[in-house]
Structure 1
Amino acid sequence: MYYRILNSLLIIGLFISCTTQNQKSDEEVVINNPTNKVKLSSEIVWEKLNPARGDKSPQAGTIFGDRKGEVPTGFLAKFVDGFSSPPHIHNVTYRAVVIKGTIHNDDPKAENMWMKPGSFWTQPQGEAHITSAKGEENIAYVEIDKGPYLVRPTDQAIDNGERPINIDVSNIVWLGSDRSNWVSQLAKINFLWEKDGLQGLFIKLPKNFKGELLSEGSIFHAVVISGGVDYTLPQNQELKHLDAGSYFTSTDRAKHTLSTKNESVIYIRTNGSIKVK
């Protein structure tokens, strides 16, 4: 089911805490040794997500980390039209965002609830579920806090106390500059989750945006969910076009210079504050 109330309560709580933080002005941010990096969607290396299923396996492309290791990881999962997994569990909890196509993820007996691009869901560790997809191209961004990411049979199911969240794109609640001092220039923000000093959020940039995203965290991962952004690397002023599924990152305080031609949505995972100017 969709958790409109849960999403709203989470936003209110995060909004209260986030708006009380001091924001450093643009003039105060001096970056002597920028750590900015980008990865284009065309540079993603694809492999089988679940090799045990052979040709029926979805494809996976690592963005950061290593889903076979014990580190935080973000990767893209690609499903063919009509894909439907058998009931299964995972050994870790994951979060996910639909990038292309439509995806259903729920209890094996649940009716299909097709999530469109921009929708967000979580899958608790050990809970039995199925994943289905329909569309010419179906891609989701998947994120784990610690690997490895494994598929297990349902006879190993457990209840770890977490409950799944499914938020359709139509239920995303956007905050503008009148509700959050993290955004300006008609940009909008949605606070999705917070855990152990980390948080996940959406940023929506308007059409013809030109500005900067200032990040303060030592952890900063950003994935383009829809639209596209032109990104200027500070090291050499090289311009990169980041379409849906592309990625940019930094490991220290950073300025990310962005422009758009169309409205664009970016998912961010960070341990610090941000400011869109």
Structure 2
Amino acid sequence: MLNRSFIAKVLAISVASWIGVEAISQSEASKSAITILAASEVKWQQLNPLRGDKSPKAATLWGHRTGPGPAGFLLKPVDGFSSPPHIHNVAYRGVVIRGLLHNDDPKAEHMWMPTGSFWTQPAGGIHITAAKGNDILAYVEVEDGFGVLPAKEAFDSKERPVNVDVTNIVWQDATTVAWLHDAGTAKLAFLWGTPAKDSLNGTLLKLPAKFSGKIRSQGQSLRAVVIQGRLKHQSVGGNILPPGSTFASEGKTVHSVSCAGGVECLIYIRAKGMFDVSS
């Protein structure tokens, strides 16, 4: 479901995206280490141990999924999975990486979201999650320790869920967004937060096939998750980072990346502050 408040935020963010970004030279970039975690190296465990083998698997990419503070993790349900009605103690955001996912009120008709789709689930809201397809995978992000609770403990957080199919995402290019420097190459979609200095925000970055360029982090931190495509990062010697992989940095940092093969690359970026992209 796509409510009016979300549309208003998208429009406000579109205007805000005209805000300029600072230029960063390679010498100005932070020399702090870039962290890389390939999807093949993650450690899987049950998302909800109380459900045993019926629980989807989860793999933490950063932070502590069940501990205090923000965290990001991969969600891996099996084909045909459908949860019982339940709630979570905190709100979360999700991006579909592979397969089809449904997340909504228990009585709602299934709306299957494909790769690149984005959804949010407020804390306390009763819902179900269902999945179908082969090798299903999604990225989930929380701002505090994540827990699964029975529907009888539901409460109203005053927030409402949002489901955005990838076909409904609003993409902008260098003609409308100062964060992109080269027309006809990268595209950006603002998903949540405030795209400004020292502010937390989430975006989707789309790079065309055979793109080669730089993502310059200008803020306090940048965390990226590969959603689609064959992305290469200079820090791993040009090796492919498949969907579900992540790279991150603190402070001003330059990430040299390329999109290999004939398929465009899609990257989810959580940033504290701004970043820009050039080829």
* TM above 0.5: yes
Task: Decide which of 49, 54, 57 is 1:56's aligned counterpart.
Answer: 54
Q: Which residue of 1 aligns with 2:71?
A: 73
1:209–1:8 distance in 2 versus 1, CA, 3 Å: farther
What does residue range 1-277 of structure 1 map to in structure 2 within 5 Å? Answer: 1-3=1-3, 8-21=7-20, 23-27=21-25, 30-31=28-29, 33-147=31-145, 149-185=146-182, 186-194=185-193, 197-233=199-235, 238-261=237-260, 262-277=263-278
Q: Tell me which amino acid in the other structure corresponds to 1:263.
A: E
SS of 1:239's equivalent in the other structure is: coil
Moved over 4 A (4+): 5-8
CA distance in 2, matches of 1:48, 1:90: 16
What's the offset of the Cα at 1:66?
0.5
Percent identity of paired positions between Structure 1 and Structure 2: 45
CA distance in 1, matches of 2:30, 2:181: 25
CA distance in 1, matches of 2:127, 2:7: 25
RMSD value, Cα: 1.6
TM-score (norm 1): 0.93
What's the offset of the Cα at 1:136?
1.1
Maintained 8 Å contact 1:76/1:142: yes
CA distance in 2, matches of 1:214, 1:118: 23
Comparing 190-199 and 180-189, the one that deviates more = 190-199
What's the offset of the Cα at 1:32?
5.3
Q: Deviations over 1:32-54 (max 9, x none)?
A: 52321111000111000000000
SS of 2:167's equivalent in the other structure is: helix
CA distance in 1, matches of 2:38, 2:93: 21
Structure 1 residue ranges without an equivalent (≥5)? none
Structure 2 residue ranges without an equivalent (≥5)? none
SS of 1:13's equivalent in the other structure is: helix
What's the offset of the Cα at 1:168?
0.3
Maintained 8 Å contact 1:7/1:192: no
SS of 2:233's equivalent in the other structure is: strand
Maintained 8 Å contact 1:100/1:117: yes
Q: Deviations over 1:224-243 (max 9, x none)?
A: 1111210002xxx7333111
Number of aligned residue pairs? 271
CA distance in 2, matches of 1:160, 1:32: 39
Q: Deviations over 1:68-102 (max 9, x none)?
A: 11010000000100000000000000000000000
CA distance in 2, matches of 1:152, 1:27: 48
Q: Tell me which amino acid in the other structure corresponds to 2:206.
A: K
Maintained 8 Å contact 1:8/1:173: no
